[in-house]
Amino acid sequence: MIFGQTRQMPLNTFPTWKYLMVLFIIIIGGILALPNIFGEDHAIQISDKNGNPITEELVVNIDQAIKDGGIETKSFEVEGSRGLIRLVNPDDQNEAKRIAFQFVENHSKPEIKENTVVAVNLAAATPKWLADLGFDPMKLGLDLRGGVHFLLEVDMDALFKKEQERAITTIKTTLYDEQIYYKSVNPRELTSVIAQFESEELQERAFAELNTNALEGFTITDRSFDGRYELIFNITEAKSREIRDFAIKKNITTLNNRINAIGVAEPLVQRQGANRIIVQLPGIQDTATARSIIGDTRTLEFRMANTRRDVGEALSGRVPYDSELLYESDGRPILVYKDVMLDGEHVTGAGSSRDEKGMPQINIQLDGAGGSIMAKESGDHVGDVMAIVLTEVVPIFKKNEYGDFVKNDEGSLIKIDEKINKEVVSAATIQTTLGRSFRITGQFTPQYASNLALTLKSGSLKAPIYIVEDGTIGPSLGKENVEKGTLSILIGFVMVLIFMLFRYKVFGLVANIALLVNLVLIIGVMSMIGAVLTLPGMAGILLTVGMAVDANVLIFERIREELRDGMSPAQAIHNGYDAAFSTIADANITTAIAALILFAIGTGPIAGFAITLLFGILTSMFTAIVGSRALVNLIYGGKAVKKLAV
Amino acid sequence: MTLNIPFLNYKNIAVIISAILIIVSGYSLFQNGLNVGLDFSGGTTIQVKYDKPVELAPIREALKNNNLNGGVVQFFGSSLDVTIRLPSDVGVANKELDFEVMKALKTYREDVTKVRRSFVGPAVGDELKNDGGLALLVALICIMVYVAMRFEWKFALGSVAALAHDVIIVAGFFSVTQIEFDLTVLAAILAVIGYSLNDTIVVYDRIRENFLKMRKGSSIEVMNRSLNQTLTRTLITSLTTLLVLIALFYFGGELIHGFSIALIVGVLIGTYSSIYVASAAALALGVTKEDLMPPEVEKEGADQDALM
């Protein structure tokens, strides 16, 4: 009981704010769910494979070309690097794509011909005012839309082995430089290195040396027994996490670039777990095409810039035979020697920080061997400019007139060419002889510094990926799944509504309204968080519908009981809701625990099921306890009720 | 209309029924195992569609003639749709596998189109087996801790006994019938855990309430009373859930058949187990009124504040 209450509310009435809150939540949920009723338009998507903006002029011209081809278009829009032309008739999509692809192929400007990608898309037909407010419909999962999916695994073992090799080289070089004699330095398991010494004295000196001149990312422990003196180096938890994270990040970036280049509408590239990446390509129907996108070709090189010759001269076509003309990220041309001074594989780490004057700087660490090369080369070139060159090889496959890939008899793509993209990510003057660890300073922003550090680090990481799972789902199966899912939800829903009305009369009507609101709220919440709707997700919605009535059943049965025990109708309603509350809470919390665990451990479809179940539990608790109570209060509250229709 | 069925007086019969079900399930799981789907075993599934009805024997023949051995060929819902499941080590590189299969199928009939294909590496399968088991285990433990906190450890044991009972029997059902056990079935079993628990908690909640309210009466009388009071609710909720599950089974399509069957069996078993297994187990463990008395009985609903 609450003491000190001065004003007693009549039984079964809510204060006005509570009604308003319920109304407010329902309206918000309704608006969030609204975009889902408009369906989708078949559209042609025009995008730039490097993520550069698309000009409105290009989209207007393609739109005109499609119209000239006798195809009706609904509208077009340009948004950043993507342009969309919506079609009136879905059957025209292929022909429209052919026209668009031919238009781009025959474009007079080479940069448009090379960089523009044409793809078919299903675009949400949400009205512009709603979309402008940031409200979008639920995305359909691959099983409902059709397409290809891949589960890729990054080969972390290879990375750890590399890290181990680096450690071994560094340990050996350091010991050699300090004239500490060792018996052996060997890898042990995947994450540690073991060094053996003849005497305790050597072991101690080595420990002191390697501990201060720290071997970054490793812990050192000493161990002596039976006249054996050993040092054991283990990769730290932080370092191994860092290795994983960077390998994943780098692969995701590469994959995103590749996928943009082939033009897929709304692709999904996402990390999953410690070392997996999930790729979903809606609309693509064959895994061979998608497989060819995967495969890493980024390399990093340290080279000297050729400052003896004039860049202007090179720009006019006279490039010295030993050099090549490259461009920096901001587009400035630079002449670079072809000879590679140091391979990027020697980079062990890179980070950004600020120097003494507070200017951003990039810190680079090399392995032992890299350090020696750098020391010698930089010593010879003090005062010269060193360039860091990033190279990416992109294969080009044969396409047909629709812009689709052509395959040979074995089912593989036909590679006709490859495009090599080279970029100078950094050019800086060498001030002094550099060692294993050095820094780059200059006039740049902290953002630039951290981006460059990431590029250096990821460019140096060779992380092979392989496919552990892939699959295709035909577009007709996707459509069939949507229809079946919707139909079964509808039928199940109607059966429950009829039953509740039959069993609980007025209260049943209340429960049904609560159930409808619940469905709207689930869809609203899922649209808001951008959840992807899958077939198991639909099953999850349906299951919550079945279970959502449970809370109301509990309450109504309790009310009936209270009435049988001789309570007045008003008191029965009050007691019914009160007594059922802790039961409902307990029951739902335990189910929520199960759903949470499913979400945490499960992947793909299971996670989709879990998330709908989880939100279903939350929204159904709200609608059953607060929502239905508000309605019951409005109907029966504050009146002298003789009989309840329950 | 007040029901008064002395449920727990028949608990010996229930013990026998449950024991038989569990033994049959356990034996079948041990002997036949589960017909695990691609999600767990690894391999390739290709679903194809024919324009006209087709027979399976020539399809198997065609595959064999093209050195695609060890596959399982089944109808998928109709005599037009066929799924072909091939193990991971079929001998053809995965990259070309679907191409090879389609080529082989075309040697028999030309009117075939590929609808769906999925490949799962054996490593993923192994991982799923472990993770799936782990998910079940973690879920059980978390739930037990929560119930022990909100009620009492005897109830926690009772509820988990009921859950284990349900999970074993549903899995046993899949083992006996040899219906394919895939990822969606695993999800369904986890949903069964949630559902059965929901039921059990509702009953326990009422038992606790009655222990505190009914001054007289033995444990078994209080429990019988509670079961009767919650019976209509238990049956109605099961009924509404079954209604939607049946809709899902009949109209949801082949892909979620396993899911809906698992849940239908689970809901039936779960309803039974929350009446008999959960309560009978708590009773067998000797739940008494004192166990449920809050340490300081001061005000009504004191035990509810923790949640608010």
| Ranges of each domain in chain A | 16-35+474-636, 39-125, 157-237, 242-472
Q: B300 pLDDT band (50/70/90 cuts)?
A: very low
Q: Note whether B244 contacts A468, CB cutoff 8 Å.
A: no
Q: For residue range B221-255, what is the model confidence (pLDDT) as tens digits?
A: 888 989 998 998 889 989 988 988 998 899 888 77
- The CATH fold of domain A157-237: Endonuclease I-creI (3.10.28)
Chain A residues inside the 8 Å CB shell of B118:
469-472
Q: Higher confidence at residue B63 or residue B174?
A: B174
CATH architecture of A242-472: 2-Layer Sandwich (3.30)
Please count the CA atoms within 13 angstroms of the CA of B123 that sit on its side-chain side: 8
In angstroms, rounded to a whole number, what is the distance separating the alpha carbons of residues B155 and B147? Answer: 7
Name the amino acid, one letter, at A450: S
Contact map slice: A 554-593 vs B, CB within 8 A? 554, 557, 561, 564, 579, 581-583, 585-591, 593
> How confident is the model at residue A512, as a pLDDT?
92
Specify the range with the lowest mean pLDDT, choosing from A60-74, A191-205, A270-284, A423-437. A270-284
Q: For residue range A315-341, what is the model confidence (pLDDT) as tens digits?
A: 887 888 888 888 887 788 899 988 888
Q: Does B123 touch chain A (CB under 8 A)?
A: yes
Could you report the predicted ipTM of this complex, rounded to two decimals?
A: 0.81
CATH architecture of B7-36+124-307: Up-down Bundle (1.20)
Supply angle C-alpha A53, A58, A62, rounded to 5: 135
Q: Given a cut of 80, is residue A260 above it in pLDDT?
A: no
**Residue of A465, A553, A574, A612 best to disrupt the B interface, most CBs of B under 10 A:** A553
Q: Note whether A550 contacts B250, CB cutoff 8 Å.
A: no
> How confident is the model at residue A410, as a pLDDT?
59
Local structure of A307: helix, strand or coil: coil
In angstroms, rounded to a whole number, what is the distance separating the alpha carbons of residues B18 and B22? Answer: 6
Contacts of B144 (CB under 8 A, 6+ apart): B156, B157, B159, B160
Q: Given a cut of 70, is residue A4 above it in pLDDT?
A: no
> How confident is the model at residue A495, as a pLDDT?
92
> How confident is the model at residue A299, as a pLDDT?
72
Per the prediction, chain A carries an average pLDDT of 82
The token duo for A514 is 């609560």
Query: Which residues face B179 on adjacent strands?
Result: none
Contacts of A160 (CB under 8 A, 6+ apart): A190, A191, A235, A240, A243
User: To which H or E segment does residue A458 belong?
Assistant: helix A446-460
Q: Higher confidence at residue A145 or residue A291?
A: A145
- Measured between CA atoms, the residue of chain B closest to residue A539 is B248
> How confident is the model at residue A608, as a pLDDT?
72
Q: Given a cut of 90, is residue B52 above it in pLDDT?
A: no
Specify the range with the lowest mean pLDDT, choosing from A131-135, A465-469, A484-488. A465-469
Q: Given a cut of 60, is residue A462 above it in pLDDT?
A: no
Closest CA to B116 of B214, B44, B213: B44
> For residue A141, how far is the Cα from the chain centroid?
15
Name the amino acid, one letter, at A243: I
Q: B23 pLDDT band (50/70/90 cuts)?
A: very high
User: To which H or E segment does residue A496 belong?
Assistant: helix A475-528
Q: Does A618 touch chain B (CB under 8 A)?
A: no
Q: Note whether B198 contacts A547, CB cutoff 8 Å.
A: yes
Q: How far is CA A500 from CA A511, A583, A621, B76, B238, in A?
A: 7, 20, 17, 35, 13
* B296: closest CA of chain A, how far (Å): 16
Pairing type for strands A347-354 and A532-533 reads: unpaired
CATH architecture of B43-119: 2-Layer Sandwich (3.30)
* B18: closest CA of chain A, how far (Å): 24
Q: How large a percentage of chain A has pLDDT more than 90?
A: 10
Q: Does B4 touch chain A (CB under 8 A)?
A: no
Closest CA to A203 of A188, A223, A219: A223
Q: Note whether B252 contacts A151, CB cutoff 8 Å.
A: no
The token duo for A332 is 């400035």
Chain A residues inside the 8 Å CB shell of B123:
153, 468
Q: Does B233 touch chain A (CB under 8 A)?
A: yes
Q: For residue range A401-423, what is the model confidence (pLDDT) as tens digits?
A: 877 777 666 556 677 777 777 88
> How confident is the model at residue A293, as a pLDDT?
60
Closest CA to A525 of A598, A631, A613, A603: A613
**Residue of B49, B198, B226, B238 best to disrupt the A interface, most CBs of A under 10 A:** B198
Q: Where in chain B is the domain with CATH 1.20.1640.10?
A: 7-36+124-307
The CATH number of the structural domain formed by A16-35+474-636 is: 1.20.1640.10
Q: Given a cut of 60, is residue A2 above it in pLDDT?
A: no
Q: Note whether A472 contacts B244, CB cutoff 8 Å.
A: no
The token duo for A81 is 């690097």
Q: Note whether B142 contacts A597, CB cutoff 8 Å.
A: yes
Q: What is the DSSP letter of A346?
A: G
Q: Does A465 touch chain B (CB under 8 A)?
A: no
CATH top-level class of A39-125: alpha beta
- Read off the pTM: 0.71
> How confident is the model at residue A247, as a pLDDT?
80
Local structure of A121: helix, strand or coil: strand
Specify the range with the lowest mean pLDDT, choosing from A289-303, A385-399, A426-440, B80-94. A289-303
Contact map slice: A 269-298 vs B, CB within 8 A? 287-288, 291
User: Mean pLDDT throughout B66-89?
Assistant: 80
User: Mean pLDDT throughout A114-131?
Assistant: 81
- Neighbour-count burial for A389-426, b at 16+ CB within 10 Å, e otherwise: bbbbeebebebeebbbbebeeebbbeeeeeeeebebbb
The token duo for A394 is 């992109």
Specify the range with the lowest mean pLDDT, choosing from A373-377, A537-541, B140-144. A537-541
In total, the C-beta contacts within 8 angstroms joining chain A to chain B are 211
